[in-house]
A and B are shown apart, each in its own frame.
Chain A
Amino acid sequence: MTDLAFSKDAMKEYEWMLTRYPNKEAALLPTLRIAEREFENLDPAAMKYVADLMGLSPAKVLGVVTFYTHYRREGTGTYHLQVCSTLSCALRGSEDVCAHLSAKLGVGLGETTDDGLFTLSKVECLASCDTAPMLQCNDDYHEGLTLEDVDHLIDRLREEAKAGGAA
């Protein structure tokens, strides 16, 4: 069903990754990271490729991918906004951040904007309690947020997208 394949560099990285784990299965998480980078998101074709590559059942890979919130799933927007909702952030107003984003973008949690730019999720601890409330956008942390900061972030990302390049 798929003619996806890792690039040469990605394959090299994968092979190196294997040497760092006691068995193949244990290397699944970092391999999924590579796949996410290579294929933009982990759609069924990408998961199937990883399963075949690692000799695991596709169902096992699906189970792992869906267990975590931090993998890019099929249909994720250009910018994945993951708002931490665990204790420190919750106490410091993460609910407001979520509600604000939801109103501003016109999407609910787990939804993607019509233009395909933003996906909004609420996630568990991102290990940045000292800078609560915070969110992660793709690979970047945005910390100590006020609602104005959130507005600025969205504006900036919109412009960036218009200029033709996601971070």
Chain B
Amino acid sequence: MSDSGAGMVSWVLNGDPVESPAGMTILEAAKAHGAELPHFCYHPGLSIAGNCRICLVETNRSPKPAISCSERISDGLEVQTHSEKAVEAREGVMEFQLINHPLDCPVCDKAGECTLQDYSFDHGPDESRFVEKKNIRHTKDLGPTIKIWGNRCIVCTRCIRFCDEISGTGELCVVARGDRSVVDVFPGIPIDNPLAGNVVDICPVGALISKDFMFQSRVWNNEHTETVCGGCARGCNVTVETNEGFVKRLMPRENTDVNDWWMCDFGRYGWRYAHDDRRVSVPRRGAEAVETELEAHRDLGELVRGAWGGSKKVAIVVDPFLTCEEAHLVGRVAAGTGATVGGWLPPSGDELTFPGKFKISGEKCPNRRGVEAVLGQEVFGSQAKAVESMLNSGGVDLVIVFAGFPNADCPDALASAVGKATARVAFTLFDGAWSEAADLVLPSASVFEKEGTYVNEDGRLQRVRSKDRPGDAQLAQPGLHSASISSPWVTSELVALQRALVHVGDAERSLSAAGVFRQLADSNEHFKGQSHRGIPATGVPLGGLAPAGVGEGSES
């Protein structure tokens, strides 16, 4: 920052000479220098509206306060963010913002993460001078997932700009004017697009409310886990919010290399299967529940031991919901037993790219590329065919199937193939033909219960995290059913596979996901030099995996 090179602007922020790249707005440049300014209508992902005026600052360029979110920095500009004049200007704006506001924080879902609340605390008067009647504006459904409390709307137009610029669907507008203005939809054309949920996130107040999250929990009680969405190969960065072990909502996390500030509704509301009562949560031998998980894992270990050394014909069917770490463990089992490994992908959906560049992948699983990077490029291709014909031609001694498909969307080929082996193990989220035919059924972990890494469609390595870190928590309490631990989560494949390997004698003890990843990084070109700790919050491009192309296959 010391060279005032081309394209840099020298200006003064609160008395300190600073430099910033030309073209930046005061608000953005000040933020880069550590001075955050309040803002309602400004959003880094949307065009500049400059309508709320809560970002006012004092400058040497005009006697009137400047709108910092729209005014650009220039040489010699002097900005005061907290001078008496600046603060007074913002206090004035705040007072007007609150004139018609119902101040119903106690029943508002946004309370606790509402910028109006925050700025009111910073800038608001402690007493209202407004004695007139407040305006009443509509409370109504705007679409199947979204409701508006018009009285809370501050008409920042963020939601409208989102629908115009990012989703390109244009369902929202401001109706009427002045203090009667409020957001609405055209009669008969509700807001109903694959990105609609984002308008609730970016509404700075509690005007737009997600019906899915409405009255579900107070936001400050939620625990936050930074992970990625498992809905498709895009791998949007998300925060999973849980409360007493249950998912309450998913929120997008900023990652300008993947999902910007957004996520799609399919991913956002796609968590319910994890808490579906029909999920397989207890291991079974055939139809009979196994008393403890440890016992079931020993069964698995016993079957693997019987096939160790390549004396038996073994097939392993993987799913693209496995983490890279789990795939690595599958690779170890396959190496020890000489198994053939292949797998099926869920049916693909439409790939959608929106005017704001946000993309939904047509590949409805999170880790095809990761599993391929670990188990070979052909694992879901010719290898799947090989496994299928091997099973159909009979004589397979042991088949281990991973069917972590949400909502029991299991490919048909898998179901019909499983029944044809002598010994059959199925990891599954839901029961289906594949698990009904199995001798040993083990619960699969959902994306929300996994610890490890996924590789998205661009070859980006990203961390998957679980609130209860089953990889660790359940290792610490072996022998218990997940159902008897205070959390509803199930034990992941990561744990089961390691217990089997320990049983065989191929591993000394079970490791955390990070430990398994170390083995993977040591043995696989693509992952060389990576570690869980070293992966940034927004992920890292993986060596040798070109975006959307075909990387080099490598068997582990």
Contact = CB atoms under 8 A, between A and B. Distances in A.
A60 B170 contact: yes
A57 B170 contact: yes
Contacts of B172: 59
Interface string B159-197: 000011000011111111100000011111100000000
B186 A58 contact: yes
Given A57-B171, A59-B170, A44 B176 contact: no
Interface in B124-182: 163-164, 169-177
A163 interface: no
Contact of A59 (B176, B177, B185): B185
A71 B175 CA distance: 14
Given A57-B170, A59-B170, A60-B170, A44 B175 contact: no
B187 to A, nearest CB: 5
Contacts of A66: 175-177
A1 B188 contact: yes
A62 B188 contact: no
A47 B177 contact: no
Interface in B183-213: 184-189
Contact of A63 (B169, B174, B188, B189): B174
B173 A63 contact: yes
Interface string A1-15: 100000000000000
A47 B498 CA distance: 65
B177 to A, nearest CB: 5
B167 to A, nearest CB: 11
A29 B184 CA distance: 20
Contact of A60 (B173, B176, B177, B187): B173
Given A66-B175, A66-B176, A59 B188 contact: no
Among A59, A60, A66, max chain B CB count under 10 A is at A59
A47 B173 CA distance: 14
Of B164, B172, B176, B187, most buried by chain A (CB within 10 Å of CB) is B187
Contacts of A72: none
Nearest to A43: B187
A36 to B, nearest CB: 18
Contact of B175 (A1, A57, A58, A63): A63
Contact of B171 (A1, A59, A67): A59
B187 A59 contact: no
A80 interface: no
Interface in A46-84: 47-48, 57-63, 66-67
A47 B186 contact: yes
Contacts of A44: 186-188
A127 B170 CA distance: 34
A64 B177 CA distance: 10
Interface in B515-536: none
Interface string B224-255: 00000000000000000000000000000000
A59 B176 CA distance: 12
B143 to A, nearest CB: 12
A63 B175 CA distance: 5
Contacts of A59: 163, 170-173, 184-186, 189
A81 to B, nearest CB: 20
Nearest to A44: B187
Contacts of B184: 59, 62
B520 to A, nearest CB: 49
Nearest to B170: A57
A2 B220 CA distance: 48
Contacts of B186: 44, 47-48, 57-59, 61-62
Contacts of B169: 57
A59 B171 CA distance: 6
B162 to A, nearest CB: 13
Contacts of B177: 66-67
B156 to A, nearest CB: 15
A62 B170 contact: no
A152 B495 CA distance: 91
A80 to B, nearest CB: 17
A75 to B, nearest CB: 13
A47 B184 CA distance: 15
Contacts of B189: 58-59
Contacts of A67: 174-177
Interface string A125-141: 00000000000000000
B161 to A, nearest CB: 12
Nearest to A48: B186
A28 to B, nearest CB: 13
B385 to A, nearest CB: 48
Q: Which of B170, B174, B175, B186 has the most CB of A within 10 A?
A: B186
Interface of A: 1, 44, 47-48, 57-63, 66-67
Given A57-B170, A59-B185, 15 more contacts: A44-B186, A47-B186, A57-B171, A59-B171, A59-B172, A59-B173, A59-B184, A59-B189, A60-B170, A60-B173, A62-B175, A66-B175, A66-B176, A66-B177, A67-B174
5 cross-chain pairs, A with B, having the tightest CB-CB distances, nearest first: A57-B170, A63-B173, A59-B173, A58-B186, A66-B175
20 contacts: A44-B187, A44-B188, A57-B164, A57-B171, A58-B186, A59-B163, A59-B171, A59-B172, A59-B186, A59-B189, A60-B170, A61-B186, A62-B173, A63-B173, A63-B174, A63-B175, A66-B176, A66-B177, A67-B176, A67-B177
Interface of B: 163-164, 169-177, 184-189
